[in-house]
Each structure stands twice: as C-alpha cells, then as structure tokens.
Amino acid sequence: MENSRQPEVDGMCDDKPIHLNGISQETFELFLEFTFGRYVDILCFYIDELSKFLRFCDMYQCSHAREFIISRISTARYRFHPAKLINLAIKYHVRSIFPYAFQQLAETPITELTHAHRELMGNEVFLNVIYVQAALDSHRRIIAAEEPKILMHSNECQDPTGCNKDWHAIWWNGMGHFLLDGRNPQPYDDAVKRFKELQFGRVSEGCKDLMFKILDQGAAFKHAKQFLSETCSFLVEKLVFEPEPPSP
C-alpha cells in the first residue's frame, strides 16, 4: 500500500512550492492581493516587476488579474518614466496608458531622452516624438509672434490706432515672453492667465474684454492639442493591438 501512495507534486505542501519561472515573490504578492483582497502598495514595485506580472497574466490567461494590474499601473502612472509605459503598452497591448505616456514624452525635452529611453519606446515612437515636438514648437512660435487682431473696436474705444499698437506690443512682450521663455516656457493656459494680469495701456476695456473672450475660446491653442491627439491615435492603432480573447 505504501508504494501506491500519491507522489508529491508542486503545490501539495509548503515543502513543495509551485515554481513560477521569471516571477518574483514580490510580484506574486500582487496576484495574491487580487485573489484574496490583501492590500499591497504598488509604489513598492518597479515597472520591470509589473511587466513580469502582465506576462504571467498572459501566460496563464488571467484576464481579470490583468485588468486589475493595469488599473493599478494607470493610477500610479506618474511614478514611471513615460518611455517605460510606452514599452509596456506596446508589449502587452495596453491601449489605456499609451496616450498619457506619449503626451508626457512630447513635453519632455529631447535632450533628456537617453539611448535607453529610445530603445524602450522604439524607433517609430521616438521619431514621432521628435516630429510632434518640432511641430508644436513651430506652432508656439507662430502664436507668440502673431497676436489675434482687433477686427472691430468697441464703442468706448477712443483711439483705435493706439489701441492696436498697444495690443500688439503687450502681446509680444507678454504672451511672446511667456510662451518662448527659454528657461521656463509657460503652457498656453498659464500664459493666458498671466497675460490677463498685465497693464494694457491704450487698449480700451471693451476691446480688452472682447479679445479675452477670443482667447478663452482657445481656437488657436486647440490646434496643438488636436495634432497631438491625432498623432497618438495613429500610433495606438498601428502599434498597440487589442489583446486576443482567451480561447474557450
């Protein structure tokens, strides 16, 4: 009867644990959190460990665990370099984190992107980051140099010629400086907010209010956001494929 005893296999007891190659004990803690509801702080994990966990989810078709870890990564996305998030999105077909990561890369000075970052994001994403940055920089310079014109002055404007001249001068010395400051260029929204706080000389209150309404509509500023969004959508469709559903 002793010879017919069932042989011990991995997982039968503490002395025979289940070995998961490539999965660290710390990473497996996330799986236990998902399975048994035990809280584990994701800030304790490096992106490489989370990548291994996604590989584990794909390997064993744990779709619910996969959704769980992706939601945790999205919540703490600010903690990881965007190049690593791009790599994760492409490698494991995670569309939801790609737009945030690409926008962050577009706002990162190209001199701060290392060769390792380029390797992580791949040549196509890297080239599009350069292209987007160049296009946005050109758009920013155009806005800084070409103020919106006062096409119709308000009834209270007593000096239309002086109003136009001062509006032009204040735009260049205000918005031009805020947008093109080499040390601290301001985002569009912040630049407009600071611009409104300036003194406007001969620009009448009525003309100023009219032009502020045009600025608040943000027609010129929205072109940059739309261009960035369209480029991102193109890359998502091309590089980040939807994960295949598990076979029945």
Contact assessment for residue 154 and residue 207, using Cβ atoms and an 8 Å cutoff = yes
CA distance linking residue 43 with residue 79, whole number of Å: 8
**What percent of the chain lies above the pLDDT cut of 90?**
54
Q: Which of 71, 88, 61, 86 is nearest to 30 (CA)?
A: 71
Q: Quick one: average pLDDT of 119-124? A: 95
Q: Please give the share of the chain, as a percent, with pLDDT higher than 70.
A: 86
pLDDT digits (tens, 9 = 90+) for 130-146: 999 999 999 999 999 99
Whether 235 contacts 124, CB under 8 Å: yes
CA distance 185 to 171: 15
The span from the CA of 75 to the CA of 93, in Å, is 18
Stated length of the chain? 248
Task: Give the integer Cα–Cα distance in Å for 230 and 213.
Answer: 27
C-alpha distance from residue 95 to each of 91, 121, 132 (Å): 11, 14, 20
Give the helix/strand (H/E) hosting 99. Answer: helix 98-106
Is residue 160 classed as helix, strand or coil in its secondary structure?
helix
What per-residue confidence (pLDDT) applies to 1? 46
pLDDT of 198 reads: 95
Residue 3 predicted with pLDDT over 60: no
pLDDT at 192 over 60: yes
Question: What would the two tokens of residue 157 be?
Answer: 């404007």
| 17-26, 47-56, 106-115: range with lowest mean pLDDT | 17-26
8 Å CB contact between 212 and 150 = no
Highest-confidence range of 35-39, 50-54, 120-124, 187-191, by mean pLDDT?
Answer: 120-124
